[in-house]
Structure 1
Amino acid sequence: MNLSSTAKRVGIIGGGIFGVSTALQLAKLGVEVTLINDGPLSNGASGRSLAWLNSANFRSREYHELRVMGIDRWRTFLAQRPDTAEFLKFDGGLTWEIDGAGDKLRSVLDYEHSIGYDGQWLSADEVATVAPGVDLSAVSAEGAVFNPGEGWVDLPRVITLLVKDFVALGGTVIENAGESRIVVADNKVTGVATADGHVIDVDAALLATGPSVPYAMRDLGVPMGDESPVALLLFTKPVDTKLKAVLNTPRIAVRPTPEGGLALDSGWSEEEITVHEDGAFEYLESTVQGLLVEASRVLEGNPTLEVESIGAGRKPIPGGGEPVFGELTQISGYFVAFSHSGATQGLFVPELLAREIAFGIESPLLKNFRPGRYSA
C-alpha cells in the first residue's frame, strides 16, 4: 500500500486483543471497520493468557524495544483510565531457576542490564521485602531476579472496554460468525466472509486469529513458521494470599486475578497434553492437580487451591519466537498479526498496524517482524 491508496473500509477477523485494539485505532482514524469473531469476543488465546507484561530474558534488541514500548503504553492506559486499576497491575515479576542454574539466571540479568531493562538480584531471604506472598523455601538458594517494571492485565476486561469505545465510534461487531475468511481476488483483498457466506466488501483486512493465522497462510501458499503448542491456563477460586507480583518459577508461573484467585501456567503441562491427528486434544486430571500442587508450593502458607475454570487451546508462538506483523508481500491489503506476546504488545502495536492499514505508512519498528521473512 502507499499514501495514495488509503483504505476506507477494513475488515478484521479475530476478537482478541490485537483484533479489537486495531479495530479501535482504525475507527479513531475515521476508517469504516467491521470486526468479526468466530464466537464471543475473547474466546481465543486472549481469554486464556497469563498476560504477563514483560520483556524479560534474552531476545533481540528490536523485539525488546517493541515490548518495552508496549509496557509503556499500558502504563499510559492505566493513567488515562484509572478505572482499570483493578485488572491492570504493575507489581513486578519475580523469576528463579532450579538450584544449580544460578549462573544462567545471572547471565540473563547481565543481559537485561546491558539493554537498560531494570532488574535486581535478590537472595532468597530478600524476596519477601519486594514480593510478599512467596514461600521463601521454594526460592532457589542461589537467589532470584526481580523486575520491578513488570505487571499483568486481564485481557477480557480490557477488550470489553475497547469494544465499547469502538462501537461508540461507529464500528461494527459481528460475533458468533463461525470460521470466517478474507476474500482475495487477483492477489488483492476484496472482502471478508463469514461462515454462512455473507461477504462484506473491504479495501483491506487484518487476520488476528492467534494460532490459526499460520493455517490460513498455508491455504494461501504463504510460508509462515509456527511453534504454537496446545497449552492449559488454570484459574483458581479466590484464595487468601499476599501475592501481587507475577511469579516465573521452574515448575509454575503464577499471577493474581481480579477476582482474588490465581492464573497458573507451565511448560511441563503442555508436554502432558495429547494432540490427535484431527487436531482435537485432551489433558489429564493429574496434570490439572499437578499445576495446583506446584502453585501451592511457591505460595506462603502453601494454601489449598481449587480450580475455578480451565482454558485450553493453542498458544500462539511464531516460528523463531518473534512476532509477525504487517502486510503480506503476495497479497495487497492482506495484513496479519501473530505473536506470543500479545498481552505486552496489545495496545501499542495496533497503533502501528492501524496507520499501516489506513495510510500505508510502514513503521520502522516493525521492519524485522514482517511476514515476508519466512520467504527469504
Structure 2
Amino acid sequence: MVENVVVVGAGVYGAAVAASLARRGACVAVVDAGAPASGTSGATFSWTNSCGKQPRSYHDLSVAGMEAHRRLAAEVPHGRWYHESGNLEWADDDAEREQLRRKVDGVLQYGYDARWLSRAEVLRLEPDIDPAELPPDEIAYFPREGWIEPAPLIAHLVSTAVGRGAEVIQNDAVTGLEVAGGMVRTVRLASGRRLVADAVVNCAGPQAGQIAELAGLALPMRNMPGVLVYTSPVAVSVSRVVHAPRVHLRPDGAGRLLLHTPDIDGAVGASGTVEQQAVDEVLEAGRSLYPGLRAATVQDVRVGERPIPGDGLPVLGRVAELPNFFFAVSHSGATLSLHAGDLVAAEVLGGDQDGALAPFRFERLRLP
C-alpha cells in the first residue's frame, strides 16, 4: 500500500502531482533544491497549446491538458492565472507559409479549433499592431490557446497540497536514493534528512536525468536554454499570444510584455548571461510589431533550462524495473502538467492509466 510519496521538484509538474496525490489521501513530501517556481517554471513562455504537436497521442494529451486548465479556472475563478485569449501566427516567406498551412490543415483534421484571418480581422483583435507588419491574409488564429502565469498557479497547487497535509521541503536538494529489493526505500537530502518513501515521483525538470541516475536509471535528456525578455510597463494593447516572424510575445501583467525569439536562445554565454545585442534585437523586433513599445525598456532577462527528453516527447508514469519510481517530465509543462500530473498521481496510488500513458513510458528510451 502506498502511503508516503516523495515528489522531487516543486515546479508546475511537482505542484500538480502533489496536489492530486494529496486530494487522493496520500501523505506527500515535496522536495526542491530551491523554492517552488524558482526553476524552469519561473522562466517560461508558458504557452498553452497543441499547435502542430505530433504524434497524435501527444496532441491528444495536450488538448486534455488545455481542458484541465479550463476546468481548474472555472473551479477557482479568483485564481486569474489562466488566460485563454488565443494565439496568432503568420509567416513572411513562401517556405514558412507552406509550413504554416500544413500545420493548420493538420490540426483541423484532428478537430482542433483553427482558422485563417485577414489583416483587417487581426487588427480588430490587436489594434496596436503596425498594419505594415501583417500580410494581407493567411494569418492563423487558434482561439482556444493562451498562456498561464506559472507562479500563482504553482502557489495555488502547493497550497492545495499543504492544506491536505503535504509537507514542502525547500532549499534542500535530493542527494541520494536508497534502492533495495527492486524498490526505492529512502530519499536522502543535502541537509542530512532521510525520507522514507513508498513511492518517488521524479518531477525535477532539467535535473530529471540526475535524479533518475540516483535510482540507477539512464534518462536521456537534451535540455535547451530558453531566454525571455520582460519589458517595463507600457501603454500598449496586447491581448493574445503572438507568433510573428521576428518575435514572439504575450502580455505578462501590469502592462508588461514578455518577448522571445528562437535566435536569442543561442545567445547565452558560458556564464549564463545573454549577449546585450541579442536582447536589444528582440526589443527592437517587438517595437517594430507594436510601435507603442518605443517607450518600453527591458526590465528583466531570464534564462531558463527547458527539460526535453531525448525524443522530445513526455516521460510519464511508472518504471517497469523500479515499480515505485515514477516520472513526470516533459517540455510543454505549462500545457500538460495539470492533466498529466493527475494521471501520474492516479498511477502512483494504483490506478490503471496505461491507456493514457502507454505512449509516454520511460522504457521506450532504453538503449537496446
Inter-partner Cα distance in structure 1 for 2:16 and 2:68 = 12
Corresponding residue for residue 335 of structure 2: 344
Structure 1 residue 82 corresponds to structure 2 residue 77: yes
Q: Which residue of 2 aligns with 1:56?
A: 51
After superposition, where does 1:1-376 map in structure 2 within 5 Å? Answer: 6-85=1-80, 87-100=81-94, 101-141=96-136, 143-218=138-213, 220=215, 222-275=217-270, 280-375=271-366
Contact persistence 1:11–1:191 (CA under 8 A): no
Q: Percent identity?
A: 29
User: 1:134 and 1:373 mapped to 2: Cα distance?
Assistant: 45
CA shift in 2, pair 1:22/1:269, >3 Å:
same
Which letter does structure 1 place at the counterpart of 2:5? V
Paired with 2:7 and 2:137, the residues of 1 have a C-alpha distance of: 48
- The alpha-carbon distance between structure 1 residues 136 and 317, as it changes in their structure 2 partners (threshold 3 A), is farther
Count of residues paired in the alignment: 366
- Give the Cα separation in 2 of the matches to 1:353 and 1:56: 24
| 1:209 positional shift | 1.2
Cα distance change, pair 172–354 in 1 and its aligned pair in 2 (3 A): same
Distance change (3 Å), C-alpha of 1:328 and 1:312: same
Change in 2 beyond 3 A, CA 1:253/1:228: same
Distance 2:300 2:177 in 1: 33
In structure 1, C-alpha distance between the alignment counterparts of 2:216 and 2:126, rounded to whole Å: 48
Q: Counterparts of 2:46 and 2:224 in 1: how far apart (Å)?
A: 17
CA deviations on 1:54-83 (whole Å, 9 max, x unpaired) are 111242111111111111111111111111
Counterpart amino acid of 2:86? Answer: G
What is the TM-score normalised by the length of structure 2?
0.94
- Counterpart residue number, 1:3: none
Q: Deviations over 1:199-238 (max 9, x none)?
A: 1101001111111112333455534332211221222221
TM-score, normalised relative to structure 1: 0.92
Q: CA deviation at 1:305?
A: 2.5
* Structure 1 residue 136 displacement after superposition: 2.6
Counterpart contact for 2:231–2:297, Cα < 8 Å: yes
Runs of 5+ consecutive residues of structure 1 not aligned to the other structure: 1-5
Higher mean C-alpha deviation, range 340-349 or range 189-198: 189-198
